[in-house]
Amino acid sequence: MTDGKTATTAGLRPRGRFITLEGGEGAGKSTQARLLADALRARGLDVVQTREPGGSQGAEDIRALLVTGEPGRWDPMTEALLHYAARRDHVRRVIAPALKAGRWVICDRFADSTMAYQGYGHRMGRESIRRLDTLVLNRFRPDLTLILDLPVEEGLARAGRRAEAPGDAGEDRYERMDDGFHARMRAGFHTIAEREPERCALVSAAEDVEAVHAAVLAVVAGRLPLPEPKREAE
Numbered residues of the known binding site: 23-30
Query: What is the side-by-side strand order in the sheet with 18-23?
Result: 47-51, 104-108, 18-23, 144-149, 200-204
Distance from C-alpha of 169 to C-alpha of 68, rounded to nearest angstrom: 9
Question: Residue 86 pairs with which residues in a beta bridge?
Answer: none
Numbered residues of the known binding site for ATP: 23-30
Q: Is 103 helix (H, G, I), strand (E, B) or coil?
A: coil
- Cα-based distances in Å from 148 to 25, 83, 209: 10, 21, 12
